[in-house]
Amino acid sequence: MNHNFFLTSFSPIISLFVVTLFLLEKKASCTDPQFLACNPESCGDGQNINFPFYIQNKQEPSCGYPGFSLSCNNKGKPVLKLSNNEYIIHEIYYQNQSLRVSNAVFFGKSTPCIPQIQNMSLADDRFRLPSNRASLFLLYNCNSTLLANDSELLNYKVDCFGENGTVSTLAMLDDDPLLGPASDKCETGAVAPVDVYRGENVGSERMLLLERGFVLNWIASNCSICEGSGGKCGFDNATYHFKCFCPDRPHSRSCTSGESF
């Protein structure tokens, strides 16, 4: 058999294959490292996390917007920390810049007992609550003797295993006319946003509202133009400016703008 014949016949194909591999390797080595670093990541629940959010210890802070850092809990869910509270992120809606969250203390609960929580604080301008949504008042250490004389307020009582017979917990929407009289019978309270319209009758589904969570809107640089040009959005904390990370280099707005840092 003529081995030289086969070598001669296939040598152009082999050469082309080698050249192609060389060009691909060269292209990969020339790709901007910040572009490569800002790939979407997940906590394990299949939900991709990208700009303006970034996962600590998984993604670089430059891949997100200031104040939008997340962590992963032991159940593979992304967690957003606001003031002193942790919130489980159930869904991120990148197109309209909103996300659905719930207080982490309500996540995966197997009992109807409502734990004591702190009020949510949105002191900065990164996150906002929709104006047409209601809040659920959680009233703790309510005098059970006084409640026993008011049959209407007993309908708002949340049964908690292990709670003694002298105090109770109530859960009421912020537009309930009985909220004032109820607060006079309780020592402490907290407010939890819920995804329900004011005036809507929720009946006994108050615990379900807390588990389902609520929608938050966020304010950050828009990423659509950069992503539409094939880039990945990021932020330069030194100059405090938005960046569009592109395969060649960072740009100010999009990979096709011609403007670069």
Hey, where are the domains in the chain?
Answer: 14-39+221-251, 69-218
CB neighbours of residue 82 within 10 Å: 18
Judge contact between 62 and 237, C-beta under 8 A: yes
DSSP code at position 49: B
Which pLDDT score is estimated for 244?
A: 95
Q: What stretches in the chain show pLDDT beneath 50?
A: 5-8, 10, 15-28
Q: What pLDDT sits at residue 175?
A: 87
* pLDDT of amino acid 242: 94
Q: How far apart are CA 255 and CA 108, in angstroms?
A: 43
Specify the pLDDT at position 23: 42
Under 8 Å between Cβ of 259 and 234: no
**Whole-prediction pTM value?**
0.79
- The whole-number pLDDT of residue 160 equals 64
Query: According to the model, what pLDDT value does residue 257 have?
Result: 64
Give residue 237's pLDDT.
87
